[in-house]
Structure 1
Amino acid sequence: MNIRKLYRNPEVKKITIKYLLLLIAAIITISAIAFFITRNINKKIIENNTIIISKFTEKMDIGDIISDLPKVHNKEDFSKAKEVMKSYGYDDEMSKDSNELIVYFYKEIFITFSIFFIIIFSILYFFYIRELKRIYINIDDIVNKVSSMSYGEYKSIEGDFNEGDMAILISSLNYMGERVNNSINLLTKEKENLKDYLSDISHQLKTPLSSLIMLNDLLKENEDMPYTDRIKFLNKCDEQLSRMEWLIMNLLKVGRLEAGAVVFQKELEPLNETINIAISSLKETIKSKSQNLVITGDLDSELLHDKEWLAEAFTNIIKNSVEHTKEGGEIKIEVVNGPLITKVYIKDNGKGIPKEMQKNIFKRFYKGENSKDPKSIGIGLSLSKTIIEGLGGEIKVDSEEGKGTTFIISFLRK
């Protein structure tokens, strides 16, 4: 920071003016002090000269006069000498300006003390301005770094203030800057996620929409299409519409959950009711595949949860197990109620999940490399994870290829 920029600050201008006024006041004070000191010196010189004259009237030797000066003088002789000197205008009322010696003393005292005070004040002012400059350099650095907050480029302020208000200010700004940076980074990340989310939605809707357009064109162009073929095409249209409806509804659920727009209605209820709701829509599929569904454990144990939403999460997990378990396989749901944690195990003896794929199965729109189901979208497990975590729980997967998969849902008991 250059000196011209420093003096643009009103605080520095005020301090400089105050210092100048203080210096002028000091010089005036020195002048007054010098005046009173020299006036007293003037009186003392006149008194001493009068004593010398009085001694001459006594016709004393010069050496005796000098040696007798400090002693008490004869009042009568002193009065006579005073009268004589007064007749020549040499008395206490004589102006000090008439006495060259006094004028000399006055100048010496005034100049010496003035120079001394100017030097002292200048040194004090220099050190004060230098300290102010150090403070303003730090403030300038603070301003520049705070300005970078809006761009998410805030860097920690390293001020050389160990304690006091400036140290508190810097600490508060660093805290605020970190929070602003984190917020901007989160917003940037959310923006990227939204971009990916919209891209995924577009991709997922594109396939059924294209099928619907193609089927609709075929129906319009072939007015003489056999009734059986027309029914077949209409059924396919219904299938694609159902798929689109399911996709849109689930995407809306995911969006609402991630935006925090869902308020869970938690109540203390037994888990068996929630599990029964979850499997109600899957019973026909399980029956068609001749699979065995086993529900066991502490089914009457109560858990604080939103029954409808948790049932939705269970349905998606059980559906995944049903889809990846061969005909005649087994799906097992077990509730284990511990002293601190309640766990729900959803097991199957299907083909299992490869180790390298297990970390990705809860990602939105993720489908396994070996997935051949065209109806699979890869949103069910992601939705389940979001619901379970939103209810304060945790979900993990344990799987081995050829031996099956176990989903472990854990809730802390309250």
Structure 2
Amino acid sequence: MKNEFGRLKRKMIVQIIFILVIAIVIGYLISIALLDGILQAPFADAFVAFCENVLQLDWYTAQKIYLIIFQQNKSLWLAVGFILLLLIIFYIALSRFTRYFNLISTSISMLSDESDKEIHLPAELDFLEKHLNNVKNKLEKRARDAQEAEQRKNDLVVYLAHDIKTPLTSIIGYLSLLDEAKDMPADQKDKYVTITLEKSYRLEQLINEFFEITRFNLQSIILEKELIPLNYMLLQVADEFYPLLVPKGQKAIVHIDGEINIYADGNKLARVFNNILKNAIAYSDPNSTIKISAKSENNQTFISFSNTGKTIPAEKLDMIFEKFYRLDSARSTQTGGAGLGLAISNEIVQAHGGTISATSSNDKTVFTVMIPTKS
């Protein structure tokens, strides 16, 4: 910051020196012109005439006063003039600084007022102009992101509310049939009970998504770290998703060279891996293999989830970790979640001091989680 202010300081110094030189030159010229130069006689005659006409003094007295006040006190008048010049210089310099402060204050007001106009400052404050415009752009992006997230949340709430009616209507309908037809055949009754139970599970899932949307904005991530055998955790995660893999003929294989232990919150990290693997299963091709691998380098552990499926466009890759964003907006809430899984995963990983990223090309998508091995 000191170097950035150097240009401003140099300009101010040059301006002050320039004004000082001009003031001294003007003062010197006035001094020699009025007291010792070509204007000395006209000035003396004017002063004497003033004393005679206004003060009613005789010529000799007026002449004597002129000599005492001006001719015998040249150094005093020069000192007074120099002090006045310094005051003028100080006022001009202060005015310049005040102008800078006014411009900066106006620019800050533009930030608070969320003005659409770009901030412009003098050339010597170009560094500050760049900083303020960067802040302005970041604030605008945050406002847009917040607005888009709020809109996505509102859309999801509407979708969920609409979808809740479907299983609820079915549940009420089948229960009404069971209540009205007391002598219903056993096999038909079992069929209706099974359907009602499935609809109840779906209704529970939708209600849980409602709670998840609310809880996301209220929760604070508190880590309870311990030493975790990563090999065992990833194998366990893959095994738990076996029932979701089988219907589509998919497989999840874990490949790790050697044993890796990390210091992390096991429960929350498992939630990260569950969210990523669930997402990979949903978007992978049928009969494909999801590869899970891990390696440690320079006190950092990298965990990768690789799957084959439709390539994710670059513009969507930048948004998949934002809350309430769903990769495929055409997917109904029957198949898609509330769009919070990857956003929550991102916050958990960041709380560990790590990062989460995704790449997608040539029908291959890779999610990579970096966690410090020791923290």
Query: Which TM-score bucket, shorter chain as reference?
Result: 0.5 to 0.7
Q: 2:206 aligns with which of 225, 235, 243?
A: 243
How far has the Cα of 1:317 moved from its partner?
Answer: 1.2
Instruction: Give the aligned partner of residue 351 of structure 1.
Output: 309
Q: C-alpha deviations, 1:315-338, integer Å up to 9, x for none?
A: 111112222334543222222233
- 1:181 and 1:251 map into 2 onto residues whose CA distance is 34
Q: Is the 8 A contact 1:271 1:299 kept in 2?
A: no
Q: C-alpha deviations, 1:170-195, integer Å up to 9, x for none?
A: 99xx97x9888776765554444333
Highest RCO, 1 vs 2 (Cα 8 Å, sep ≥ 6): 2
- 1:191 and 1:271 map into 2 onto residues whose CA distance is 38
- 2:294 and 2:278 map into 1 onto residues whose CA distance is 18
Q: 1:316 aligns with which of 275, 281, 284?
A: 275
Q: 1:252 aligns with which of 215, 218, 235?
A: 215
1:335 maps to a residue whose letter is: A
Instruction: Give the aligned partner of residue 295 of structure 2.
Output: 336
CA change 1:325–1:292 in 2 (3 A) is same
- 2:287 and 2:172 map into 1 onto residues whose CA distance is 43
Instruction: Give the aligned partner of residue 387 of structure 1.
Output: 348
How far has the Cα of 1:134 moved from its partner?
Answer: 0.9
TM-score (normalizing by structure 1): 0.56
Larger Rg: 1
Instruction: Give the aligned partner of residue 86 of structure 2.
Output: 128
Q: Is the 8 A contact 1:354 1:401 kept in 2?
A: no
Q: 2:263 aligns with which of 298, 301, 304?
A: 304
SS at match of 2:221: coil
2:155 maps to a residue whose letter is: H
- 1:331 and 1:232 map into 2 onto residues whose CA distance is 32
SS at match of 1:152: helix
How far has the Cα of 1:239 moved from its partner?
Answer: 0.5
2:95 maps to a residue whose letter is: I
Q: For this pair of structures, how many residues does the alignment match?
A: 294
How far has the Cα of 1:211 moved from its partner?
Answer: 2.7
How far has the Cα of 1:359 moved from its partner?
Answer: 4.5
Identity %: 16
SS at match of 2:177: coil
- 1:231 and 1:275 map into 2 onto residues whose CA distance is 34
Q: Is the 8 A contact 1:270 1:299 kept in 2?
A: no
CA change 1:138–1:400 in 2 (3 A) is closer
How far has the Cα of 1:374 moved from its partner?
Answer: 3.9
Q: 2:146 aligns with which of 194, 198, 223?
A: 194
The residue correspondences of 1:19-98 to structure 2 (distance < 5 A) are: none
TM-score (normalizing by structure 2): 0.61
SS at match of 1:353: coil
Q: Is the 8 A contact 2:277 2:305 kept in 1?
A: yes
Q: Is the 8 A contact 2:261 2:373 kept in 1?
A: no
Structure 1 segments unaligned to the other structure (5+ residues): 1-101, 160-169
Structure 2 segments unaligned to the other structure (5+ residues): 1-59, 113-118, 179-188
Q: C-alpha deviations, 1:356-395, integer Å up to 9, x for none?
A: 4545544441324786784213433333333323323233
Instruction: Give the aligned partner of residue 367 of structure 2.
Output: 407
How far has the Cα of 1:146 moved from its partner?
Answer: 4.7
Q: C-alpha deviations, 1:62-86, integer Å up to 9, x for none?
A: xxxxxxxxxxxxxxxxxxxxxxxxx
